[in-house]
Amino acid sequence: MSQGKSRDFTDHLVAFLCAREGRSDEELDADLKAEGVDAAALIADVDAIVAEAKRRARQAKIARFTAKGAAIVARVPDNNLYEGMTADELRAQIRQRAQDGAAAYFRSYEEASDEDLRRMLAQLDAVKPGPRKGR
Protein backbone atom coordinates (compact mmCIF):
# COMPACT_ATOMS: atom_id res chain seq x y z
CA MET A 1 0.00 0.00 0.00
CA SER A 2 1.43 3.37 -0.99
CA GLN A 3 1.90 6.21 1.49
CA GLY A 4 -1.05 8.17 0.04
CA LYS A 5 -3.43 5.21 0.05
CA SER A 6 -2.29 4.24 3.53
CA ARG A 7 -2.97 7.78 4.80
CA ASP A 8 -6.42 7.85 3.12
CA PHE A 9 -7.32 4.47 4.59
CA THR A 10 -6.15 5.54 8.06
CA ASP A 11 -8.16 8.77 7.84
CA HIS A 12 -11.28 6.87 6.79
CA LEU A 13 -10.80 4.27 9.52
CA VAL A 14 -10.42 6.96 12.19
CA ALA A 15 -13.53 8.77 10.93
CA PHE A 16 -15.43 5.47 10.86
CA LEU A 17 -14.43 4.60 14.44
CA CYS A 18 -15.11 8.11 15.76
CA ALA A 19 -18.62 8.04 14.27
CA ARG A 20 -19.26 4.83 16.18
CA GLU A 21 -17.83 5.85 19.55
CA GLY A 22 -19.40 4.01 22.47
CA ARG A 23 -20.36 0.92 20.49
CA SER A 24 -19.24 -2.55 21.53
CA ASP A 25 -16.41 -4.41 19.81
CA GLU A 26 -18.92 -6.82 18.31
CA GLU A 27 -20.96 -3.97 16.86
CA LEU A 28 -17.81 -2.37 15.42
CA ASP A 29 -16.74 -5.70 13.89
CA ALA A 30 -20.16 -6.06 12.30
CA ASP A 31 -20.07 -2.49 10.95
CA LEU A 32 -16.56 -2.99 9.55
CA LYS A 33 -17.58 -6.27 7.93
CA ALA A 34 -20.60 -4.54 6.38
CA GLU A 35 -18.18 -1.96 4.91
CA GLY A 36 -16.04 -4.76 3.49
CA VAL A 37 -13.20 -4.54 6.03
CA ASP A 38 -11.84 -7.74 7.58
CA ALA A 39 -10.94 -6.51 11.09
CA ALA A 40 -8.92 -9.64 11.95
CA ALA A 41 -6.81 -9.31 8.79
CA LEU A 42 -6.37 -5.59 9.42
CA ILE A 43 -5.19 -6.23 12.98
CA ALA A 44 -2.81 -8.94 11.74
CA ASP A 45 -1.37 -6.51 9.17
CA VAL A 46 -0.90 -3.79 11.78
CA ASP A 47 0.71 -6.28 14.18
CA ALA A 48 3.11 -7.38 11.42
CA ILE A 49 4.02 -3.76 10.62
CA VAL A 50 4.63 -2.99 14.31
CA ALA A 51 6.71 -6.17 14.76
CA GLU A 52 8.84 -5.25 11.72
CA ALA A 53 9.36 -1.71 13.04
CA LYS A 54 10.42 -3.11 16.42
CA ARG A 55 12.79 -5.58 14.73
CA ARG A 56 14.40 -2.79 12.70
CA ALA A 57 14.71 -0.56 15.77
CA ARG A 58 16.31 -3.42 17.71
CA GLN A 59 18.76 -4.09 14.87
CA ALA A 60 19.66 -0.39 14.69
CA LYS A 61 20.23 -0.33 18.44
CA ILE A 62 22.43 -3.43 18.26
CA ALA A 63 24.42 -1.88 15.41
CA ARG A 64 24.94 1.33 17.43
CA PHE A 65 26.08 -0.60 20.50
CA THR A 66 28.34 -2.82 18.38
CA ALA A 67 29.98 0.26 16.87
CA LYS A 68 30.39 1.86 20.31
CA GLY A 69 31.84 -1.38 21.66
CA ALA A 70 34.33 -1.61 18.80
CA ALA A 71 35.41 1.98 19.44
CA ILE A 72 35.93 1.25 23.12
CA VAL A 73 37.88 -1.94 22.40
CA ALA A 74 40.07 -0.03 19.96
CA ARG A 75 41.07 2.35 22.77
CA VAL A 76 41.92 -0.41 25.28
CA PRO A 77 45.66 -0.92 25.64
CA ASP A 78 46.97 -4.31 24.53
CA ASN A 79 49.09 -5.83 27.30
CA ASN A 80 50.10 -8.70 25.01
CA LEU A 81 52.29 -6.46 22.87
CA TYR A 82 55.08 -6.99 25.39
CA GLU A 83 54.50 -10.72 25.86
CA GLY A 84 57.71 -12.70 25.91
CA MET A 85 59.85 -9.86 27.22
CA THR A 86 61.74 -10.50 30.45
CA ALA A 87 61.19 -8.36 33.53
CA ASP A 88 64.54 -6.66 32.89
CA GLU A 89 63.56 -5.86 29.29
CA LEU A 90 60.20 -4.51 30.47
CA ARG A 91 61.86 -2.31 33.11
CA ALA A 92 64.37 -1.08 30.53
CA GLN A 93 61.46 -0.06 28.27
CA ILE A 94 59.84 1.84 31.14
CA ARG A 95 63.15 3.53 32.08
CA GLN A 96 63.63 4.57 28.46
CA ARG A 97 60.07 5.88 28.24
CA ALA A 98 60.34 7.52 31.70
CA GLN A 99 62.49 10.21 30.17
CA ASP A 100 59.22 11.66 28.85
CA GLY A 101 57.99 12.27 32.41
CA ALA A 102 56.32 8.92 33.00
CA ALA A 103 58.68 8.07 35.86
CA ALA A 104 56.57 10.01 38.35
CA TYR A 105 53.52 7.99 37.37
CA PHE A 106 55.29 4.63 37.52
CA ARG A 107 57.44 5.16 40.62
CA SER A 108 57.19 1.59 41.86
CA TYR A 109 57.98 -0.11 38.56
CA GLU A 110 61.17 -1.68 39.93
CA GLU A 111 59.09 -3.86 42.30
CA ALA A 112 56.19 -4.49 39.90
CA SER A 113 55.25 -7.91 38.53
CA ASP A 114 55.79 -8.72 34.85
CA GLU A 115 52.05 -8.35 34.21
CA ASP A 116 52.00 -4.95 35.92
CA LEU A 117 55.01 -3.87 33.85
CA ARG A 118 53.21 -4.93 30.65
CA ARG A 119 50.14 -2.99 31.79
CA MET A 120 52.27 0.10 32.49
CA LEU A 121 53.81 -0.06 29.01
CA ALA A 122 50.39 -0.55 27.44
CA GLN A 123 49.14 2.53 29.31
CA LEU A 124 52.12 4.50 28.07
CA ASP A 125 51.39 3.29 24.53
CA ALA A 126 47.82 4.54 24.87
CA VAL A 127 49.22 8.02 25.48
CA LYS A 128 52.31 7.91 23.28
CA PRO A 129 53.43 4.82 21.34
CA GLY A 130 56.98 3.79 22.04
CA PRO A 131 59.55 1.26 20.86
CA ARG A 132 58.82 -2.43 21.32
CA LYS A 133 60.87 -5.56 21.20
CA GLY A 134 61.57 -6.59 17.65
CA ARG A 135 61.22 -3.11 16.17
Query: In a structure prediction context, what are the per-residue pLDDT tens digits for the chain, which is 135 residues long?
Result: 555 667 787 888 788 778 778 888 888 888 888 888 888 888 899 899 999 999 999 999 999 988 888 877 776 666 667 788 888 888 888 777 766 555 555 566 677 788 888 887 777 777 666 655 444
Yes or no: say if 38 and 30 are a contact pair by the CB < 8 Å rule.
no
Q: Are residues 88 and 111 in the same domain?
A: yes
Q: Is 32:9 a contact under the CB 8 Å cutoff?
A: no
On whether both 72 and 90 belong to a single domain, the answer is no
* 5 & 29 share domain: yes
The total number of structural domains that make up the chain: 3
Answer yes or no: do 31 and 4 share one domain: yes
Question: Please, are residues 107 and 89 in contact by the beta-carbon 8 Å criterion?
Answer: no
DSSP 3-state helix, strand, coil percentages of the chain (rounded to 5)? Answer: 75, 0, 25
Q: Is residue 2 part of a domain?
A: yes
Q: Quick one: 70 and 92 in the same domain? A: no
d(CA 95, CA 87) in angstroms, rounded, equals 12
Same domain for 86 and 69: no
The residues, ordered by sequence, that sit 6+ positions from 46 with a Cβ below 8 Å of its Cβ are none
- Domain interval for residue 32: 1-37
Tell whether 43 is covered by a domain: no
56 and 67 inside one domain:
yes
